[in-house]
């Protein structure tokens, strides 16, 4: 089988030899494949999904890449002409490495492994620029959190500096661009090609086993694992994340079943990171059980800092305004999961409904002119809801509400969590409720790699022939996560793993 980049049926059954085998076909894998190819290696990409569903979680994503930069002027040369037109309407503060590192440390309780965290931060901008040079298109994140049409004329819309840049047309555009580049480079991709095992000799990886309907095939070469986490597998979620996680909704691809992760652990790779933790967000309660490509990430619900988040008992259970939303959303799903039936609702009043993310249009809100009626529609005890809101309202300070930055409007109602920013009274009908549940995005526990993307064994020794990048790796994120660091992690370590794998394979020739 030669040349074609869209192969699905290998025509040999006795095995294949290539220089570098990349397992998976999301952002991390495709960056690794390109880098290995450019380093002179013959590369084969193995994708478990069929062609129509290729691209993993990366394709479902919002495409946000958290990277160090010097402010709007430094991002403009990267973005499309269309996106550059927003330059006069937005403001983006510089995002230095110190702030990136600080936000990563804050989100992860300082647990992110220092060597990995430094690499992620320090190589972030160079990696985005490298992707741009290779043909990945970029844009400002205008329109994600706030509908720009709603910004008053003459006002500049401030983008969160760590979340200001995304691939053009989000994850769909990212995967389209990466595949266009991979295919132009004539890198071969097998679809419907799930890897079920590693071919090992001692602690050296010699290749992988691919499952085909008529039998397994061995593909030999230096291996880069980029097959995602275990978030789509209810049995592994229950086993590692704990009781109740088997039932949560999955935001992304159905193919990240953890098969390769388990195979690598069985082969002696070292587990690291937060195995009981995951990225999980407030998701529309009516979202499908597993991500659908027609919706990608449009069922997510991140405008809760302007709302109250309440459970079935009519009680608040988080600080909705703890920080900018990109630093809290990834743990808020876990808080929702802990509520009765993993269910909650976001309560807005007429003062803030214009601030809802445009994607709320995919939801079906419940609306009423008074809280008891709304409670009835939601199946919540009316008196409990009224009591909660009245207690909250009584604690709200006077002051200027500013939706675009942490405004310090803090309420500390007795018997409730504080609301550290954006604490405005909920007092202006109509009242609008969006029911939400927990949606898992990806898992935090994974394979231990060094800061070059080489997989380490349980004794901390490099496993020859085995590299990894992306969601399948651990040690980066714990408890929480700053938005956009997942794609950047995959690309930064994709380049390192791809380079390392190519060098290792060429040295063997
Ligand atoms: C709705 C949503 C929105 C998101 N938004 C953002 C965002 O804006 N910014 C951000 O940084 N992160 C975001 N994320 C997280 C981000 O998508 C992931 O962190 C990132 O895509 C992981 O990349 P990856 O290449 O490691 O994994 P994936 O992109 O998931 O790729 C894994 C690949 O491995 C394949 N695979 C799985 N098992 C096997 C097997 N046994 N054999 C062969 N192949 C296999 C899969 O089919 C897939 O192609 C979002 C995620 C979701 C679901």
* 224-275 pLDDT per residue, tens: 999 999 999 999 999 999 999 999 999 999 999 999 999 999 999 999 999 9
Examine residue 402 and state whether it is found in any structural domain, yes or no. Answer: yes
Beta-carbon contacts of residue 20 (< 8 Å; ≥ 6 apart): 33, 36, 41, 42, 43, 44, 221, 222, 223, 224, 498, 501, 502, 505
61 C-alpha vs ligand 1 centroid, how far in Å?
A: 8
Together in a domain, 315 and 348: yes
Q: Report the separation in Å between the CA atom of 256 and the middle of ligand 1, taken as the mean of its atom positions.
A: 8
- Substitution site in 33, 53, 57, 489 for ligand 1 pocket (most atoms within 8 Å of beta carbon): 57
Q: Which atom of ligand 1 is nearest to the CA of 251?
A: 53
Predicted local distance difference test score (pLDDT) of residue 240: 98
- Expressed as residue numbers, the domain containing 116 is 72-167
Ligand 1: residue whose CA is nearest its atom 2: 61
Is residue 206 assigned to a domain?
Answer: yes
The 10s digit of each residue's pLDDT in 467-476 is: 999 999 999 9
Determine the atom of ligand 1 nearest the C-alpha atom of 25: 49
Give the residue whose CA is nearest to atom 1 of ligand 1: 297
Is 391 a residue whose pLDDT tops 70? yes
Give me the mean pLDDT over the 410-419 stretch: 98
| CATH label of the domain that carries residue 245 | 3.50.50.60
Whether 13 has a pLDDT exceeding 70, the answer reads no
Is 183 within the bounds of a domain? yes
- pLDDT, tens only, 434-452: 999 999 999 999 999 999 9
Compute the mean pLDDT over every residue in the chain, rounded to the nearest whole number. Answer: 95
What pLDDT does 500 receive?
98
Clarify whether residues 220 and 96 are in a common domain.
Answer: no
Mutation pick for ligand 1 pocket among 8, 10, 22, 24 (CB with most ligand atoms within 8 Å): 24
Axis-axis angle for helices 371-378, 382-395 (nearest 10): 130
**CA 267 / ligand 1 centre spacing (Å):** 23
Ligand 1 centroid – CA 45 distance (Å): 15
Q: How far is the CA of 231 from the centre of ligand 1 (A)?
A: 10
* 471 and 336 housed in the same domain: no
Q: Is residue 488 part of a domain?
A: yes
What's the 490 CA to ligand 1 centre distance in angstroms? 9
496 pLDDT exceeds 50?
yes
Query: Any idea which residue has 């397994």 for tokens?
Result: 216
Q: Is the pLDDT of residue 155 over 80?
A: no
- Going by alpha carbons, the residue nearest to atom 11 of ligand 1 is 484
pLDDT number for residue 2: 33
| The predicted structure's pLDDT at residue 14 | 63
Between the CA of 165 and the centroid of ligand 1 the distance, in Å, is 18
**Ligand 1: nearest atom to the Cα of 257:** 38
Residue 266 makes CB contacts below 8 A (sequence gap 6+) with: none
Q: Which CATH number is 294's domain given?
A: 3.90.700.10
> How many Cα atoms occupy the beta-carbon half-sphere of 235 within 13 Å?
4
Helix axes 27-38, 124-134, angle to 10 degrees: 70
The answer to whether residue 3 scores a pLDDT higher than 70 is no
Encode pLDDT of 23-35 as tens digits.
Answer: 999 999 999 999 9
Structural domain includes residue 6 = no
Domain boundary among the residues 141, 167, 193 is at: 167
* Confidence band of 400 (pLDDT split at 50, 70, 90): very high
Please compute the mean of the pLDDT values over residues 96-123 and round it to a whole number: 98
62 contacts 265 by C-beta, under 8 angstroms: no
What pLDDT does 11 receive? 59
- Going by C-alpha positions, the residue among 108, 113, 443, 112 that lies closest to residue 261 is 443
- For residues 290 and 430, state if they share a domain: yes
Within this chain, do residues 114 and 238 fall inside the same structural domain, yes or no?
Answer: no
Q: Do 245 and 298 belong to one domain?
A: no
For residues 222 and 202, state if they share a domain.
Answer: yes
- CB-defined site of ligand 1, < 6 Å: 23-29, 46-49, 55-58, 60-64, 194-195, 226-228, 251-253, 255-257, 259-260, 291, 297, 441-442, 470-471, 484-487, 490
Cα of 470 to ligand 1 centre, how many Å?
8
- Strand-pair category, 215-225 with 249-250: unpaired
Q: Are 421 and 313 part of one and the same domain?
A: yes
pLDDT band at 161 (very low <50, low <70, confident <90, very high): very high
- pLDDT at position 7 is 56
Statement to judge: residues 84 and 51 lie in one domain: no
β-strand pairing of 431-443 with 344-348: antiparallel
11 lies in a domain?
no
Query: Are the beta carbons of 287 and 355 closer than 8 angstroms?
Result: no
Asked if 129 and 39 sit in the same domain, the reply is no
Among 439, 473, 489, identify where a domain stops: 439
Kindly give the number of the ligand 1 atom that is closest to the alpha carbon of 46.
43
4: in domain: no
pLDDT at 5: 46
Question: Ligand 1 mean position to 471 CA, how many Å?
Answer: 7
Average pLDDT over residues 388-398: 98
Contact 227, 25 (CB under 8 A): no
| Statement: residue 90 has pLDDT above 60 | yes
Distance of alpha carbon 69 from alpha carbon 73, whole angstroms: 9
Cα(202)–Cα(234) distance, rounded to whole angstroms? 31
Q: Which of these three, 439, 463, 496, is where a domain ends? A: 439
Q: Is residue 153 part of a domain?
A: yes
Is 271 found in the same domain as 217?
A: yes
Distance 296 CA to ligand 1 centre (A): 12
Mean pLDDT along residues 418-443: 98
pLDDT at 1: 35
Of 61, 33, 45, 465, the C-alpha closest to 267 is: 465
pLDDT of 9 strictly over 80: no
Over pLDDT 70: what percentage of the chain?
A: 97
Residue 129 has a pLDDT of 98
What does the pLDDT look like over 127-147, one tens digit per residue? 999 999 999 999 999 988 777
Number of the ligand 1 atom closest to the C-alpha atom of 65 = 11
Q: Which of 60, 61, 231, 445 to mutate to test the pocket of ligand 1 (most atoms within 8 A of CB)?
A: 61
Distance 252 CA to ligand 1 centre (A): 8
Q: How many domains does the chain have?
A: 3
Whether residues 21 and 133 share a domain: the answer is no
């Amino acid at each position: 089988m030669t040349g074609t980049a869209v192969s699905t049926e290998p025509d040999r059954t006795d095995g294949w030899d290539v220089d570098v085998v990349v397992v998976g076909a999301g952002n991390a894998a495709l960056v690794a494949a390109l880098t290995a190819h450019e380093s002179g290696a013959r590369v084969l990409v193995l994708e478990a999904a069929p062609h129509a569903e290729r691209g993993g979680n990366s394709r479902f994503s919002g495409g946000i890449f958290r990277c160090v930069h010097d402010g709007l002027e430094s991002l403009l040369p990267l973005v499309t002409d269309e996106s550059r037109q927003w330059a006069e309407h937005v403001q983006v503060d510089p995002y230095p490495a110190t702030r990136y590192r600080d936000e990563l440390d804050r989100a992860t309780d300082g647990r992110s492994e220092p060597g990995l965290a430094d690499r992620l931060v320090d190589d972030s901008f160079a990696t985005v620029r490298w992707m741009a040079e290779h043909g990945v298109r970029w844009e400002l994140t205008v329109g994600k959190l706030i509908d720009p049409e709603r910004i008053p004329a003459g006002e500049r819309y401030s983008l969160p500096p760590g979340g200001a840049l995304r691939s053009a047309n989000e994850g769909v555009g990212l995967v389209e661009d990466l595949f266009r580049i991979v295919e132009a480079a004539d890198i071969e991709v097998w679809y419907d090609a799930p890897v079920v095992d590693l071919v090992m000799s001692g602690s050296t990886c010699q290749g992988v086993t691919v499952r085909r309907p008529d039998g397994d095939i061995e593909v030999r070469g230096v291996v880069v694992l980029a097959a995602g986490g275990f978030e789509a597998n209810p049995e592994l979620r229950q086993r590692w994340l704990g009781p109740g996680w088997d039932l949560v909704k999955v935001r992304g691809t159905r193919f990240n079943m953890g098969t390769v992760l388990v195979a690598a652990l069985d082969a002696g790779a070292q587990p690291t990171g937060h195995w009981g933790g995951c990225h999980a967000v407030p998701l529309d309660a009516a979202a499908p059980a597993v991500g659908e490509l027609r919706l990608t990430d449009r069922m997510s619900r991140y405008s809760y800092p302007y709302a109250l988040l309440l459970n079935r008992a009519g009680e608040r259970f988080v600080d909705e305004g703890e920080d900018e939303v990109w630093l809290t959303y990834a743990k808020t799903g876990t808080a929702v999961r802990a509520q009765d039936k993993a269910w909650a609702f976001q309560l807005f009043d007429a003062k803030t409904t214009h601030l809802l993310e445009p994607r709320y249009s995919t939801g079906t809100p419940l609306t009423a002119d008074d809280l008891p009626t709304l409670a009835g529609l939601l199946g919540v005890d009316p008196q409990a809801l009224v009591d909660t809101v009245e207690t909250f309202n009584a604690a709200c300070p006077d002051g200027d509400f500013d939706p675009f930055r942490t405004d310090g409007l803090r309420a500390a109602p007795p018997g409730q969590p504080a609301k550290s920013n954006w604490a405005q009274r909920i007092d202006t009908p109509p009242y609008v409720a969006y029911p939400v549940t927990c949606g898992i995005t990806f898992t935090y526990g994974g394979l231990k790699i060094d800061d070059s993307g080489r997989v380490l064994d349980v004794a901390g020794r490099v496993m020859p022939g085995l590299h990894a990048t992306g969601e399948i790796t651990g040690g980066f994120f714990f408890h929480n996560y700053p938005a956009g660091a997942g794609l950047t992690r995959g690309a930064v370590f994709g380049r390192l793993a791809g380079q390392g794998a190519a060098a290792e394979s060429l040295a063997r020739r």
